[in-house]
Structure 1
Amino acid sequence: MKRLKPFLCVFVLSCCWSAHAQDLSMQWSDPTISSLGSTFTTLARSDWQAGLGLLSSVQSPSADNVTIVDDPFVAGRKVVQVYVRSGQNYSQVANGSVRAEMVFKRDVKFVQKQDYLVRWSTYIPASYVFDPKLLMVITQIHQSALAGSPAMELDLNGSNYVVSVRGNSHEAYSKQICCASQDQGKWVNWALRYVPDSSGAHASTQLWKNGVAVFATQGVPNAYPGDNDAYLKMGIYLLSPFQSLNQITLLFGEVTIGQQ
């Protein structure tokens, strides 16, 4: 793992099927952390059955860009569908970038040196076409300031994932995670253990994908100086042109934010 300039890498995704992956609950591969979630007090949680109430706002050109839909596999379960489409007017959306993002309630903040566990699920539809030139943020912990790159972000970069952390800098500590293409048509369960600290002294960032550790940093700054109001965002934030795709659609499952 090494420090990279953000968004310099272009990677790739493919497809496979797993019945186990349709379970939105985390199945930890390491028995020593199998009960990790139970050690955190839940600050916020939504299975989307009652709508978008966990959100403070939606950043999109239309209300139709972020909606509650039926889970494609489990009858009666609700998930969030997010899409962006070429030709929509994004000029009035945040900084004018192409996006359809869920902004989680601002009273759920990430305070420096506190220990958090965020759990969520993503679904890349079987119809999704992977474009090696396409780069988008799908999950981020956004600093309270309006400007600047996220303190932590998970991207789809071509057919792979990329996770990055940074502290008040455009220089990111990043890692590519293979391979989003193998997740097409099934649910992927994520867990982020996050101890923010702009100095790096107490900073810790750990990410699990389907219960398997895929990223970990210790002592690497992962928050902006003096910022105790960072917040969670999910959806699609396009960092490159649409290229060959006219519409991009993703699904998001249950979200839980806990603090120890």
Structure 2
Amino acid sequence: MKRPIFLLCFCMTLLFAKTACAQVVPMRWSDPWASALASTFTMIESENWQSGLSALQGIQSPSADNVTIVDDPLDTSQPAVQVYVRSDQNYSQVANGAVRAEMVFGNHLKFVQGKDYLLRWRTYIPPDYVFDPKLVMVITQIHQTALSGSPPMELDLNGGNYVVSMRGGPSVTTSKSICCAQQDQGRWVDWALRYMPDAGGVHASTQLWKDGVAVFGTQGFPNAYPGDNSAYLKMGIYLLSPFQTRNQITLLFGPVTVGQQ
């Protein structure tokens, strides 16, 4: 059932609403070191969607209906964000005309080179989702300040696998395929990304966990573009390949938190 876009979050006061309503994405780390590391980050952003989509800087989609608050399919007492794209919609007025329905997080959340960040978020692939080996979409990205070009960090759903990619410096790229998305249908997946951006690579570090298990890591590899200290977070669906046999693609997103050291 769809929820109203603006739901009141009944916290102690409006002034402290964001803190009082904070919900850290649950994570059972397989490595005690990772669990200890996570506890050292101070939360700077937390969104559990209890207040609708008002915390977002914007939405890039052909219609407001493409990104809506719905009940969590596994716990109807909690909200989630439903995102969809449909082949019969007109995307000509959406950013660069690409098929997308994405959430853009606010101006106050920027990724500054030399800082250390820990992002946590949840994704849900519906049980009726049909995997297509030819379909590639970006579902999470840290986007550079420039409006064009490939983002320094992106997580894709590529056919039946996830693919994480890092870029920076003189267009250097590294990526890895993560098996197997089919096993995640009908359940929440918990992601965590430790991100220390550095275009030079000397102090750069990128680590990705899926359900508490380390699945990707680079050290000393450029993961930001030179001079960019205003990269920002986006989540949703951004097709990198044309629609194939389906006319609609739907995903859900849960709470999002960002910590900083």
TM-score, normalised on structure 2? 0.89
Equivalent position of 2:131 in the other structure: 130
Equivalent position of 1:49 in the other structure: 50
Unaligned runs of 5+ in 2: 1-23
The aligned runs of 1:73-88 (5 Å cut-off) are: 73-88=74-89
Deviation at 1:106, TM superposition (A): 1.8
Q: Secondary structure at the match of 2:82?
A: strand
Cα displacement string for residues 85-138 of structure 1 (whole angstroms, at most 9, x for unaligned residues): 001000000000000000000211000010000000000000000000000000
Which whole-Å CA distance do the structure 2 matches of 1:27 and 1:259 have between them? 20
Please tell me the residue identity of whatever aligns with 1:136: M
Please tell me the residue identity of whatever aligns with 1:56: Q
Which whole-Å CA distance do the structure 1 matches of 2:59 and 2:170 have between them? 26
Please tell me the residue identity of whatever aligns with 1:196: P
Which whole-Å CA distance do the structure 2 matches of 1:100 and 1:217 have between them? 29
Which whole-Å CA distance do the structure 2 matches of 1:180 and 1:119 have between them? 18
Q: Secondary structure at the match of 2:146?
A: coil
Name which structure has the greater RCO, CA cutoff 8 Å, separation 6+. Answer: 1
**Overall identity of the aligned pairs, in %:** 72
Q: Does the 8 Å CA contact 2:169/2:201 hold for their aligned counterparts?
A: no
Which whole-Å CA distance do the structure 1 matches of 2:126 and 2:179 have between them? 17
Cα displacement string for residues 209-249 of structure 1 (whole angstroms, at most 9, x for unaligned residues): 00000000001100010000000000000000001111000
Which whole-Å CA distance do the structure 1 matches of 2:171 and 2:246 have between them? 28
Deviation at 1:36, TM superposition (A): 2.9
Which whole-Å CA distance do the structure 1 matches of 2:150 and 2:131 have between them? 24
Which whole-Å CA distance do the structure 2 matches of 1:250 and 1:169 have between them? 33
Equivalent position of 2:141 in the other structure: 140
Is 1:113 paired with 2:114? yes
Deviation at 1:35, TM superposition (A): 3.3
Unaligned runs of 5+ in 1: 1-22
The aligned runs of 1:147-186 (5 Å cut-off) are: 147-168=148-169, 170-186=171-187
Which whole-Å CA distance do the structure 1 matches of 2:106 and 2:169 have between them? 23
Deviation at 1:147, TM superposition (A): 1.1
Q: Secondary structure at the match of 1:69?
A: strand
Deviation at 1:73, TM superposition (A): 0.9
* Greater than 6 Å deviation, 4+ residue runs: none
Please tell me the residue identity of whatever aligns with 1:116: Y
Q: Secondary structure at the match of 2:182?
A: helix
Q: Does the 8 Å CA contact 2:25/2:120 hold for their aligned counterparts?
A: no
Q: Does the 8 Å CA contact 1:140/1:232 hold for their aligned counterparts?
A: yes
Deviation at 1:200, TM superposition (A): 0.4
CA RMSD of aligned residues (A): 1.2
Deviation at 1:178, TM superposition (A): 0.4
Please tell me the residue identity of whatever aligns with 1:217: T
Say how many residue pairs are matched: 238
Q: Secondary structure at the match of 1:244?
A: coil
81-90 or 169-178: which moved more? Answer: 169-178
Equivalent position of 1:215 in the other structure: 216
Please tell me the residue identity of whatever aligns with 1:110: F
Which whole-Å CA distance do the structure 1 matches of 2:89 and 2:171 have between them? 29
Equivalent position of 1:16 in the other structure: none
Please tell me the residue identity of whatever aligns with 2:26: S
Equivalent position of 2:194 in the other structure: 193
Equivalent position of 1:232 in the other structure: 233
Deviation at 1:172, TM superposition (A): 1.9
Deviation at 1:253, TM superposition (A): 0.3
Q: Secondary structure at the match of 2:168?
A: coil
